[in-house]
Structure 1
Amino acid sequence: MKVYFVGFGPGNVELLTLKAYRLLKEADLIIYPGSIIEESFLDEFDGEKINSYGMRLEEIVEIMERAVKEGKKVVRVQSGDPTIFGAVWEQIRELRKRGIDCEVVPGVSSVFASAASLCIELTSPSTPGVAIVRPAGKTLREDYLEKLAKLPLTLVILLGVDRIEYVVEKIAKVRGEEEPCAVVFHASREDEVKIVSKLGKIAEEVRKRKIERTATIIVGKVVEGYDERSHLYG
């Protein structure tokens, strides 16, 4: 008995992995988060579809457990990559208690889809790493944005465009309002919107475009590219 947790990527079917596509084609039951993934994205897959939006964890697990015990192939769709803010472990933990095995199939995170859309790297010879975070809120007491801003890292903020002013305030305290940044809405989709700006102006531009969710914020010098030469090519 097994449930497959499949990363659906940023919402572009062409970015599904071959394995994810095959599992969705074979699935008898597809459970998807309708608040992020529209059912129309799943039209080419024949399995029964259940929108999990608004359901409690226990309800979702019970549906998966019942279907698996009926001999059905169950795919639990997760937006982006299941391992980044996907709350996937909570589901796996409960399924394992019920003796049900799980497999996680990676997906393209909006982090990487956004960088690809901008044709940038998230690292550079002088930017040795990336911090992927979300702003503090109902379920997170502290986000450490100011502390992270002091490090030579590219900052990628998910689930935070609705709090863009707060994000800007925290990071600008350390890096200043001239720090390069970008916001990508619906990366890789037909209605994608890209905004490349500075910290001091980005919030106003985001509000003008009426972007309130499903967008990725990238902050750092890499947004503008770099002139350094890496050792990769000698």
Structure 2
Amino acid sequence: MTQTSPAAPDALPLTPAVYIVGAGPGDPDLLTVKAQKILAQADVILFADSLVPTQVLNGVRPDAELIRTANKTLEDILPIMIDRVRSQRSVVRLHSGDPSLYSAIHEQILALTEAEVPVEVVPGISAFQAAAAKLKAELTIPDLVQTIILTRISGQASAVPEREELASLAAHQASLCLYLAARHVESAQEKLLAHYDPETPVAICFRLGWPDERIRVVPLHQMAQVTRDEDLIRTTLYVISPALAAGETRSRLYHPEHTHLFRPKSAKR
């Protein structure tokens, strides 16, 4: 089935369609310009109110229909979106972070496409990116770590394939960003300690971008204890990385001995 694309967000009004928009981790200033434009024009906004703070909705139309979805199932949400688009209204489905990560948009897009409802996906800042910015950290340090792994722990809502178990991913000793793991932090710590040094820094990031944001950087062997002491059971991201303790280092990228197309060897220094 061929799906038509909605009009660009600069068009007024928006084309009747579902716009799946990444809200970022919580700070409204981290919305993309495109997301802001769409939110400002949308007729209907469905948002996961347990994960998206209300300040992200600053600037929406006063007459926009706001629908909270924390207490709704997919079977509740889909008919609303389909009905509003068929009534020639533009609909935003607002997800926390970036829609490509742990957002369950795949099943929504399949159902909307089957219903011949146009869909556009607008990316957002993910929590791991916001965490790195808050920490003033580069997660890919030359000669130390060059890989970032985004993963999660198996839970009631979604199982992790056996081939992607945390224990096997930890063997790479990469910069590992662990989502949705606070309730299983003891198990996660045990699996990480099988491969990472116990003193490897871990950034425990709670509700990034929210007014009550908390970030603690602790050694890996204290990860579970600090999580329990601070009663963090949800909306917590762990960044486990040797990059968080990197000393003085320099990449070749801007080194005077490194040449490339735009900085040839004959260029004046």
Shared fold, TM over 0.5: yes
Rg larger for: 2
Give the residue type in structure 1 aligned to 2:24.
G
* Partner residue of 2:183 out of 162, 178, 186: 162
The reply on whether 1:134 has 2:152 as its aligned counterpart is yes
Is contact 1:120-1:225 (8 Å) kept? no
The reply on whether 1:15 has 2:30 as its aligned counterpart is yes
| SS of match in other structure, 1:175 | coil
* Partner residue of 2:83 out of 60, 66, 75: 66
Is contact 1:114-1:188 (8 Å) kept? no
The reply on whether 1:223 has 2:247 as its aligned counterpart is no
| SS of match in other structure, 1:195 | strand
* Partner residue of 1:49 out of 63, 66, 71: 66
Deviation at 1:123, TM superposition (A): 1.1
Residues 148-177 of structure 1: CA distance to partner in whole angstroms, max 9, x if unpaired? 111141110011122211110111012242
The reply on whether 1:151 has 2:167 as its aligned counterpart is no
Q: Gapped runs of 5+ residues in structure 2?
A: 1-15, 256-269
Greater helix content: 1
Deviation at 1:104, TM superposition (A): 0.6
Identify if the C-alpha distance between structure 1 residues 40 and 13 changes in structure 2 by more than 3 Å, giving closer, same or farther: closer
TM-score by length of 2: 0.83
1:94-133 equivalences in 2 (<5 Å): 94-125=111-142, 126-133=144-151
TM-score by length of 1: 0.95
Deviation at 1:71, TM superposition (A): 0.8
Runs of 4+ in 1 over 6 A off after TM superposition: none
Give the corresponding residue for 1:87.
Answer: 104
Deviation at 1:22, TM superposition (A): 0.8
Give the corresponding residue for 2:223.
Answer: 202
Deviation at 1:203, TM superposition (A): 1.5
Percent of aligned pairs sharing the same letter? 34
